[in-house]
Structure 1
Amino acid sequence: MSTAKERLLDAAERLVAERGIEVSSRDIAAAAGQRNNSAVQYHFGSRDALHEAVIRRRQVPLEARRRELLDALAESGRLHDVHGLVDALVRPMTELLASGPTHYARFLEQVRRHPVLSTPVAIDADWAASQEVMHRLGRDGVRRGQALATTLFALLADAERDGHSPDPDDLVAMLVGLLAARVSESAQIAR
């Protein structure tokens, strides 16, 4: 039997995925079977703190898996291999989708540009392996990283909506192609 807190996390992940970041705490509490409209405040303190808790619940095991993959790359002397780095970013999410029904990719798609993901508090040790991958990929810095994240979140969310886990090798190939693509002169000038 899941706890009230776990049911709130599940409900928040699902409702944000389906309706967007502005879904009310009251709707989340009701979907979690809570009669108390203040259940989100009681268990998490705020709706943003609930969103952070949803992320942290998934991100901790995802980042642990990414760390394993990065350690394997380091052991084989391939820490600068773009394909291996992108695989370390992608594979844990595809494994999560393959493990059973989830709403997490769609949740991330909804909250990607929200302050819950862009504040220094949210981008901490929970994201250390992802940050390392993005740092090692480096080229064109933030701009390519944002394009990579946007593309990855959208592709994963689409697969999740369709009820399947995408082939990680296909996703990695697409994203490596995105990173390897030459930036046009007009785009370079626009920077």
Structure 2
Amino acid sequence: MTVTRPDATAQPSGSTGARDLLLAAAERLIGERGLEVSLREIAVAAGQRNNSAVHYHFGTRDALVEAVVELRQQALEQERLERLVQLDADGGTDLHSLVEVLVAPAFHTPYAMGATHYARFLEKVRDHPALESSALESRQWPATKMLIGRMAKALDDLPPRLVELRLRSMMSAMFALLADAERQLERAGRRPKAAAAAPVVDMLVGMLTAPQAP
């Protein structure tokens, strides 16, 4: 996977182009260094002469993080919904299939949109309010909401508190495993693709279905 840094000359000079550049720069820099990166550095990396460009377009750091999350989410949700429809048509309700619908799109959809650091960005911001359980199950993310609900139902032989703990832990593990895969594929000069999701899906299913301790 080739990392392409934002280039101010390759985008429109209007506010829409500047906003897109800021989102790309924020995704890359936060993915590389975490939330401690300054808003000024993001503006500079986006080719913006005004150091207050982030404040102008987003208002706050939190709003910028939420905007980067949402940048890819609509396309991810659309693919997950399409996979869910196909899964229902095929009569698939097993936990492994549900986890695959959640994970597989994350291995190619963001990169088809030009992302290079999306998984690493999510790993760095996974404790942010934009990625809390309530946000993941919000109406704006219908596919994710349905998947989490179906996974919980598939685990109904476990105590509710344990189900909640395992689902929350699965999401955290998913972010970390996606980020690791993204790094490894970048080093190998390859783009992530859906086929690379298989071992991650297996690991996450194993986490959800591990024997319950006495």
1:17 aligns with 2:46: no
1:165-188 deviation line (CA, Å, top 9, x unaligned)? 372222222222221111212xxx
Residue aligning to 2:64 = 50
Provide the C-alpha distance between the structure 1 equivalents of 2:166 and 2:134, rounded to a whole number of angstroms: 20
Unaligned stretches of 5+ in structure 1?
186-191
- Give distance in 2, aligned partners of 1:36 and 1:120: 35
Q: Which residue in the other structure is 2:175 paired with?
A: 153
Matched, 1:32 2:61: no
**How many residue pairs get matched?**
184
Residues 86 and 11 (structure 1), Cα distance of their counterparts in 2 relative to 1, 3 Å cut: same
Q: Structure 2, unaligned stretches of length 5 or more? A: 1-9, 12-16, 156-161
CA contact (8 A) 1:56 1:126 kept: no
Deviations 1:90-149 (A, max 9, x none): 110112366465101000001111223228567533322112111111033321112211
With 156-165 and 43-52 compared, the bigger mean Cα shift is at: 156-165
* Conserved? CA contact 1:117–1:123, under 8 Å: no
The verdict on how the C-alpha distance between 1:157 and 1:6 changes in structure 2, with shifts beyond 3 A counting, is: same
Report the 3-state secondary structure (helix = DSSP H, G, I; strand = E; otherwise coil) of the residue aligned with 2:141.
helix
Q: Specify the SS of the correspondent of 2:122.
A: helix
Distance in structure 2 (CA, Å) of the matches to 1:121 and 1:184: 30
Q: TM-score, normalised by structure 1?
A: 0.87
Aligned pairs for 1:51-66 (under 5 A) are 51-66=65-80
**CA RMSD across the alignment:** 2.0
- CA 1:28–1:119 in 2, change beyond 3 Å: closer, same or farther? farther
Instruction: Provide the C-alpha distance between the structure 2 equivalents of 1:123 and 1:22, rounded to a whole number of angstroms.
Output: 27
CA contact (8 A) 1:29 1:40 kept: yes
Q: Deviations over 1:35-82 (max 9, x none)?
A: 11110111112111111111111111011101111111111222x311
Identity across matched positions, percent:
48
Residue 169 to residue 98, structure 1, CA distance change in 2 (3 Å):
farther
Q: Distance in 1 between matches of 2:104 and 2:169?
A: 18
